[in-house]
Structure 1
Amino acid sequence: MGIHGLMSYVGEHREFFVDLQLRDTSIVIDGNNLYHRLYFDSNLDMRHGGDYDSFADVACKFFETLTLCNIRPYVVLDGGCDASDKKLATIKERARERILSAYCLSCGGGGGSLLPLLIREVFKQILTSLRVPFVQSFSEADRDIVSLANHLNCPVLTLDSDFCIFDLKAGYCPLNYFQWRSLASCKDSQDCYIPARRFSLERFCGHFSNMNKTLLPLFAVMNGNDHINLPAIEMFFSKVRLPVGSSRQKCRKHVRIQGLLNWLSHFADPAEAIENVLKYVNKHEKEETRQLLCAFMEEYEPSSVSLKDFFQNGVYESEEAKKLELPPWILTALAKGLIAPFVSDALILKRTILHVQVENMQRPSANAISLPIRQIIYGLLLGGSQRLVSTSSGKAPTRVFHEFDRIQRALKKSFVQAAALSGHFCSDQYSLNTLSEVPLADRLILLLETLGVTASILEPVPCHLWLPLAVTCYWTQYSEPKAKLQHMKALLLGVVVGELDKAIHSPDPKCPPIEIDKIVYEQFLKWKKDTSQKEAMELDAAHIFCQWQCCLQMGLYLNQLLCSPLLEPDLTRLYNGTLVHRLYRELKSSSSPENLLSASPKMYQLYSNMIHTVKDIAPPDFFQKKKKPKSRRKKNNQTTDQGLDKRESAMLETLPSCSINNRFEALMVEN
Structure 2
Amino acid sequence: MEVSALKKIIDDFCVSEEVNIEKTGLIIDGAALYYSLYYNADPKLDQRCGGDYPGFKDEVCNFFKTLQDCEVTPYVFLDGGSDPDKRKTLVSRLKHKLKKAKTVAETKPDAAPKGCNVLPPLVKDVFIEILKEKDIMFEQCLGEADPVIVSAANQNQCAVLSIDKDFYIFEVHKGFLHLDNFEWKSKEDEKIPAKLYTRSKFCEHFKLDPALMPVFASIAGNDYSILEDRGRFARESSSPGEYSIKRLDGMLNFLSKVNLDGLNDSQKRERALSEALNHVGKKENQTFKLAIQKYVQPEKKCFELPTWVSKKVERGELTTFVISVLDQKTMMLPALVEDFSQRSSYTAAYRIRQYFYGLLTGGQICTEYDRDGKEIKDKRVPSILLSSDEQKQLKLQRLHKVLRLIMKYTSALENIPDELKLVFVTAATLMLPHQPDQEDKLLLVSGSVSLNLCLILSVEDEFERKMKALKDEGVNNWQPRVAHAFSQWQCCMRQSLHLNQLLCSPLPEPQCARLYCGPLLHRLADEDTIEELQKTLRGEKKELYDNLKTVCH
TM-score (norm 2): 0.91
Which amino acid in structure 1 is aligned with residue 366 of structure 2?
A: F
1:88 alignment partner in structure 2: 87
Q: 1:69 to 1:593 in 2, by over 3 A?
A: same
* Corresponding residue number in structure 2 for 1:471: 426
1:613–1:195 distance in 2 versus 1, CA, 3 Å: same
1:100-119 to 2 correspondence within 5 Å?
100-109=99-108, 110-111=112-113, 112-119=116-123
Q: Which moved more, 1:355-364 or 1:173-182?
A: 355-364
The answer to whether structure 1 residue 558 and structure 2 residue 493 are counterparts is no
Aligned pairs for 1:470-619 (under 5 A) are 470-475=425-430, 479-482=435-438, 483-500=440-457, 503-504=458-459, 518-532=461-475, 535-585=476-526, 587-588=527-528, 591-596=531-536, 598-599=537-538, 601=540, 603-615=541-553
* 1:583–1:593 CA contact under 8 A, matched in 2: no
Cα distance change on mapping 1:101 and 1:181 into 2, 3 Å = same
Match of 1:207 in 2: 205
Q: d(CA) in 1 for partners of 2:494 and 2:278?
A: 52
1:69 deviates by 0.2
Paired residue type of 1:320: C
Give the secondary-structure state (helix, strand or coil) at the position aligned to 1:578: helix
Q: Distance in 2 between matches of 1:278 and 1:409?
A: 38
Structure possessing the higher radius of gyration over alpha carbons: 1
- How far apart in 2 are the matches of 1:71 and 1:467? 36
Q: CA distance change for structure 1 residues 614 and 544 in 2, over 3 Å: closer, same or farther?
A: same
Q: CA deviation at 1:562?
A: 1.0
Deviation at 1:610, TM superposition (A): 2.7
Superposition deviation, residue 550 in structure 1: 0.5
What residue is the counterpart of 2:291 in the other structure?
296
Deviation at 1:422, TM superposition (A): 4.6
CA RMSD of aligned residues (A): 2.3
Question: Counterpart of 1:413 in 2: which secondary structure?
Answer: strand
CA spacing shift, 1:542–1:452, aligned 2, 3 Å: farther
Q: CA-to-partner distance for each residue in 1:161-191, whole Å, 9 max, x for gaps?
A: 1111111110000001101001111xxxxxx
Give the number of aligned pairs. Answer: 536
Aligned to 1:216: 213
Structure 1 residues 208 and 452: CA distance shift in structure 2, 3 A = same
Q: Please, which runs of 5 or more residues in structure 2 have no aligned partner?
A: 261-267
Distance 2:391 2:543 in 1: 40
Matches within 5 A, 1:21-32: 21-32=20-31
Q: How far has the Cα of 1:496 moved from its partner?
A: 2.1
For residues 364-383 of structure 1, the aligned pairs below 5 Å read 364-383=343-362
Question: CA contact under 8 A between 2:20 and 2:193: conserved in structure 1?
Answer: yes
Which amino acid is 1:550 matched to?
A: C
2:445 aligned counterpart, secondary structure: helix
Q: What amino acid is aligned across from residue 350 of structure 1 in structure 2?
A: K
How far off its partner does 1:243 sit? 8.2
The equivalences for 1:292-331 within 5 A come to 292-301=287-296, 303=298, 320-321=302-303, 324=304, 326-331=305-310
Where does residue 67 of structure 1 map in the other structure? 68
Deviations 1:369-402 (A, max 9, x none): 1110000011101136xxxxxxxxxxxxxx2111
**How far is 1:477 from its partner?**
5.8
CA distance in 1, matches of 2:234, 2:388: 69
Q: Deviations over 1:564-621 (max 9, x none)?
A: 1111110111111111110111x2466112222x2251x4444333322222xxxxxx
Contact 2:50 2:518 in 1 (8 A): yes
Helix, strand or coil: the match of 1:293? helix
The correspondence for 1:254, drawn from 245, 255, 267, is 245
Q: Residue 196 of structure 2 aligns with which residue?
A: 198
Deviations 1:49-98 (A, max 9, x none): 1110000000000000000000000111111112xx11111211221122
Question: Are 1:227 and 2:224 matched, yes or no?
Answer: yes
Cα separation, 2, equivalents of 1:119 and 1:271:
42
Contact 1:177 1:197 survives alignment (8 Å): yes
Change (3 A) 1:477 1:496: farther
Contiguous gaps of at least 5 residues in structure 1? 186-191, 305-317, 385-398, 431-437, 505-516, 616-671
Q: Give SS of 1:181's match.
A: helix
- The answer to whether the 8 A contact 1:242-1:262 is kept is no
- CA–CA distance in structure 2, aligned partners of residues 600 and 301 of structure 1: 67
Any conservation in 2 of the 1:40–1:113 contact (CA below 8 Å)?
yes
Deviation for aligned residue 1:409: 1.2
Report how far residue 556 of structure 1 moved: 0.8
1-structure distance, mates of 2:91, 2:274: 34
Partner of 1:511: none
Contact 1:379–1:419, Cα closer than 8 Å, also in 2:
yes
Deviation of 1:452 after TM superposition, in Å, equals 6.0
Do 1:147 and 1:302's aligned partners in 2 also have CA atoms closer than 8 Å?
no
2:341 aligns to what SS in structure 1? coil
| 8 Å CA contact retained: 2:233, 2:246 | no
Distance 1:614 1:207 in 2: 66
Task: Give the conservation status (yes or no) of the 8 Å contact 2:443–2:485.
Answer: no
Separation in 1, partners of 2:519, 2:400: 33
Write the distance in 1 (CA, Å) between the matches of 2:86 and 2:538: 54
Asked if residue 158 in structure 1 is aligned to residue 187 in structure 2, the reply is no
Query: In the alignment, which residue of structure 1 is the partner of 2:315?
Result: 336
Residue 18 of structure 1 corresponds to 17
Aligned to 1:182: 186
Q: 1:476 to 1:382 in 2, by over 3 A?
A: closer
Aligned residue number for residue 421 of structure 1: 386
What is the deviation of 1:333?
A: 1.1
Matching residue of 1:274: 273
Bigger relative contact order, structure 1 or 2, given CA contacts below 8 A and separation 6+?
A: 2
The 10-residue stretch of structure 1 (129-138 or 60-69) with the greater mean CA deviation from structure 2: 129-138
Pair 1:263–1:569, CA change in 2 (3 A): same
Q: Percent identity?
A: 31
Change (3 A) 1:471 1:484: closer
TM-score between both structures, scaled by the size of structure 1: 0.76
Distance 1:604 1:427 in 2: 49
- 1: CA distance, partners of 2:278 / 2:413: 71
The CA deviation at 1:444 is 4.9
1:132 matched to 2:136: yes
TM-superposed CA distance for 1:480, in Å, is 1.1
Match of 1:412, SS state, is strand
Shift of 1:350: 0.8
Q: Match for residue 641 of structure 1? A: none
What amino acid does structure 1 have at the position aligned with 2:213?
Answer: L
CA contact (8 A) 1:3 1:226 kept: no
2:148 matched to 1:148? Answer: no
The alpha-carbon distance between structure 1 residues 590 and 344, as it changes in their structure 2 partners (threshold 3 A), is closer
Distance, in Å, in 1 between the alignment partners of 2:329 and 2:349 is: 18
1:276-326 alpha-carbon deviations (Å, 9 max, x no partner) = 23545879x53xx2x43332212114546xxxxxxxxxxxxx6613xx2x2
Indicate how the Cα distance of structure 1 residues 170 and 366 shifts in structure 2: closer, same or farther if over 3 A, else same. same
